[in-house]
Amino acid sequence: SSQNLSEEFAEAARQLKKEAPRIQFGKIDVTHQHDLRKEFNIQAFPTVKFFVNGSREDPIDCKGVRKASAFITWVKRRTGPSTVLINSTDQAEAIIKAGDLAVIGFFRELHNDSVEVFCETARDVPEMPFGMTASEDVCANYGVQRNSLIVFKEGKPVHNEVLEDGRQSKLGLTRIIKTFTLDLVTEYNIETSVKIFDVPVENHILLFTPMNSETFNEIYENYQSAAAEFRGKMLFVLVDTNEARNGRIFEYFRVRDIDVPAVRILNLTSEARYKMPADEVTVENLKEFCQSYLNGKAKQHLPSEEIPQDWDKMPVKVLVGKNFNSIIF
């Protein structure tokens, strides 16, 4: 909530005042400052922007940061080096074991396009430490081809991404790395919904099923297998249809009790929805559905009549599937 974020923001300001007094923190209530809201095109709340060198032009958006420690890291990485330079295996181990997640880039040399993209990505992912190395010993110790990035989770390598000059974008790497802040399949609830929308993956696939059904374990294993294959491209979400608090999400996807288990894909940018054509939740059906969607071949699911022309003329507005999300949420 805004209140929580405001408290974390204030805590970051307190801590940075000692370490970096040059960095000033301020907050604005834009309900009273219409000109500022318009000037900086503030659409959502809360919004955090970072102004550099006293300029009002092009402030940097600080998105998806919610904890004081992440604010501090984000600001430090914007004003100083964004990654730690690693010269020894001991140094690498210290970073890998310091927390739950760590990212290390192994490079042939420390001056090329891939290094630049890696350092830019580190600025946008303050939730985890980033290190980079061009040391032959360190690369040999982890048995890594140089010019690749490894995500470590709980001290073990869980993802290896080869970095080819000019091929990966900052957004592409950010997507892949940020998905590791979530489980392979994330159960939808009040706490996780915020995290789900913080990860910049616009394709979400949702499995609607009662978690206490006899077939749940088998279906869930199939879903996890598909999730491992599409990590970074799609976010896999599980919705328990027995949980009454998930009612709004069934309403939005027009999923009824008789439809479950059901699988849907949602594109966050266009709000287009897709229904898995097959009834059985098998690994093959899931993979085929995801692949046909990513190839642009899946058929959109439009469980709605057209929006009536006079839907908002009267005090009670007329809602149909196509305008339900934008009006209600």
Q: Select from 151, 179, 207 the last residue of a domain.
A: 179
Provide the pLDDT confidence category of residue 305 given band limits of 50, 70 and 90.
Answer: low
Q: Is the residue at 173 inside a domain?
A: yes
Q: Is the residue at 307 inside a domain?
A: no
Q: Is the residue at 76 inside a domain?
A: no
| Greater model confidence, 247 or 225 | 225
> What was the pLDDT predicted at 1?
59
- Domain extent for 161: 84-179
The 10 Å Cβ neighbour count of residue 230 is 20
Q: Is the residue at 125 inside a domain?
A: yes
Pair (189, 291) in one structural domain: yes
CATH classification of the domain holding 97: 3.40.30.10
Nearest to 271 by CA among 325, 233, 320: 325
Helices (H) and strands (E) counted in the chain, each on its own, are: 12, 12
**Cα distances (Å, whole numbers) of residue 93 to 76, 304, 315:** 22, 54, 63
Pair (173, 89) in one structural domain: yes
> What was the pLDDT predicted at 66?
83
The C-alpha atoms of residue 144 and residue 136 are separated, in whole angstroms, by: 10
Pair (154, 112) in one structural domain: yes
Residue recorded with tokens 């709340």: 45
Sequence letter at residue 6: S
Q: Is the residue at 103 inside a domain?
A: yes
Pair (47, 96) in one structural domain: no
> What was the pLDDT predicted at 299?
87
> What was the pLDDT predicted at 167?
67
Q: Select from 39, 71, 103 the last residue of a domain.
A: 71
Q: Is the residue at 327 inside a domain?
A: no
Q: Select from 18, 47, 71 the last residue of a domain.
A: 71
